[in-house]
Structures are given as C-alpha cells and as structure tokens.
Structure 1
Amino acid sequence: MIHLKTNDIVKELLEQFPHKVNVKLGSILKERGMTQGDLHRLTGLRVATINEFVHFKKNSLTVAHIVTIMIALRIWDLRELVEIEFDEEVIEYFKKEQTTMVAGFTQDLKKTAGENVARMNQSKVSV
C-alpha cells in the first residue's frame, strides 16, 4: 500500500518494477498461539498498528516498529517477518544492470538520477 503523500518518483518505481510483499506476521502469531493483543502487550504498539501490519494495510510502519516486533517475537532475520519478491523479468534486468555498474551507477541510472533531481527541484519551486 502506498501512502497518499508518496512522491511520484517512488510511485513510478514501484509500478515499473513489479514485486510482491509477503507479510508473515499473522501466520507467525497463529503458529505461536498468540493474538495481536498479546503482541500489543509485549511491544506497546497499538493493536490497530499491529492489525494493519498483519493485513499489510499499514503504510507508515517504521523501522522501530519492525525491530520492536522482531525483539518481542525473538526473530533475528527480517526475512522471517517480511519477504519481498520481484518478478523474474525484474530480477534478470537487475542482474544485467549490475554487470554494467561503475561506482554504483549504470548509464541509465545516472540519467535517471539527473532527471529525478530536476523533477524534485521543480516541485520545490512550484510549492
């Protein structure tokens, strides 16, 4: 889920590179015989925040929330809690791009960075 105030560059990147986010918190709680209320009592996070994360409706979850949940559930690998999968075409594209990177950039990424800076500066001026 994308926050309403997400900028256009982020939205375009998410659309351009298809992916799937698999939040496993609900199944972890079920496997352990725990409720969202139990996790609330362990973490101090609002039950609504936990519920939104379980159902992947929370668009402002912070690293502090994630780490707090990981501590409470004694999870040390983020992949146990959340998986992000890219389409095979995206993975192949990323692999190809990595072979042409110089100082972390491909020619296309350099061009994109320049265009994005111009867009961000333009949006600051028009505000």
Structure 2
Amino acid sequence: MIHQKTNTIVIETLDKFPHKVNIKLGKILKERGMTQGDLHRLTGLRVATINELVNFKKKSLTVAHLISIMAALRIWDLRELIEIEFDEEVVDYFRSERLQMKEGFTSDMKKTLETNFERMNQ
C-alpha cells in the first residue's frame, strides 16, 4: 500500500515541476559505431532495456544501469549521457526556495512533507 501511494506522490511531483529529459545514449552509440547489441554484451543489460533507454520509453533508471553504461562507454560525467532541464518558471521557483533553505525546510517543503506523510500513513 505504501509503495502505491509513494508512486502517486512521485508522479504528482513530476507533474508539478515541468521538465525535459534528454537521454543521449542513441547518439553516443551511433557516434562510436556501436549497436545496442554491443552495449548489451558490454554491460549485461537486456537489449530491451537498452532499446527502451535509446527510444526514451523507459521512465526509470537504476544507478546500476547508469554505472554499467557509463563504464562500458567510458563516460565519467553523467551529463554526457543524460540532461534534465526544468522549465524556467521551475528554475526561478527553485532559486527562491533555495535562498530560504539556509534555515532548513521552506514553508512549502514543510507543507509537502506533512501532506505526504499523512498520505503515506493512511
């Protein structure tokens, strides 16, 4: 039950803070003359998993996936593989919130914390 409610909270957070995710794996493979099958053999990841990443059909990644791919492709900076951009309004909001975070949680963070705690414990 907690897992389902947690997933709902994650989805709501993603909706609340518009963003764009750019996974550059397909471009990197092409530039290096490699196939998805080559990456599969280097990492042990399923070809289907690699294909979902290349075509941005996979909505979640594990750290193990990321590290395996980065090691196989000799990438040491995650930004070379993935870019995440938030809408300008979100960036502005985050900046204002971070200024308030010097003293701990912002009022919005406290409200979110309390609301999510209640939802997860119902």
Shift of 1:34: 0.6
Is 1:11 matched up with 2:11? yes
Aligned counterpart, 2:58: 58
Aligned counterpart, 2:49: 49
Structure 2 portions without partners, runs of 5+ = none
Are the structure 2 counterparts of residues 30 and 14 from structure 1 closer, same or farther at C-alpha, using a change threshold of 3 Å? same
Shift of 1:6: 6.4
Are the structure 2 counterparts of residues 8 and 35 from structure 1 closer, same or farther at C-alpha, using a change threshold of 3 Å? same
TM-score using structure 1 length: 0.87
Is 1:77 matched up with 2:77? yes
Deviation larger for 53-62 or 33-42: 53-62
Q: For the Cα contact (< 8 Å) 2:24–2:54, is it kept in 1?
A: yes
Structure 1 portions without partners, runs of 5+ = 123-127
Q: Matched residue pairs, number?
A: 119
Give distance in 2, aligned partners of 1:87 and 1:12.
16
Give distance in 2, aligned partners of 1:70 and 1:104.
34
TM-score using structure 2 length: 0.91
Q: Percent identity between the aligned chains?
A: 73
- Structure with the bigger RCO (C-alpha within 8 Å, sep 6+) is 2
Shift of 1:104: 3.6
Bigger helix share: 2
Aligned counterpart, 1:125: none
Shift of 1:105: 1.1
Aligned counterpart, 2:68: 68
Give distance in 2, aligned partners of 1:38 and 1:104.
47
Give distance in 2, aligned partners of 1:100 and 1:85.
22
Query: Which contiguous aligned blocks of 4+ residues in structure 1 show a shift greater than 3 angstroms?
Result: none
Aligned counterpart, 1:87: 87
| C-alpha RMSD of matched pairs (Å) | 1.6
Give distance in 2, aligned partners of 1:45 and 1:99.
41
